[in-house]
């Protein structure tokens, strides 16, 4: 990942993943060959974006739009 002033790492040892982030994105690396699924809640994803210094804007209104 690119160098950034706002970067970090979370270890999901039990799930078998390391998660790294910076202002450019998130890398999820497998640390265990026999892993299942890494589930990140939207709250966790928003928290990671804030830690990386990425601005979050409100999603556009879906009024009148069909959601698939």
- Give the phi and the psi of residue 5 in degrees, each rounded to 5: -70, -25
pLDDT, residue 66, reads 63
Residuewise pLDDT in 10s, the chain (68 residues): 444 468 899 999 888 899 998 888 889 999 888 877 888 899 998 988 888 888 777 666 666 666 56
Tokens standing for residue 31: 């640390």
DSSP state of 20: E
Q: What is the pLDDT of residue 53?
A: 84
The reported pLDDT for the residue numbered 1 is: 46
Query: Whole-model pTM?
Result: 0.59
What are the distances in angstroms from CA 39 to CA 4, 8, 68?
Answer: 25, 18, 22
CB 24 within 8 A of CB 17: no
């Amino acid at each position: 990942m690119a160098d950034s002033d706002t970067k970090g790492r979370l270890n999901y040892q039990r799930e078998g993943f390391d998660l790294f982030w910076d202002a450019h994105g998130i890398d999820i690396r497998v640390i265990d060959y026999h892993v299942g699924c890494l589930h990140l809640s939207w709250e966790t994803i928003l928290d990671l974006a804030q830690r990386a210094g990425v601005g979050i804007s409100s999603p556009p209104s879906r009024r009148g739009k069909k959601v698939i």
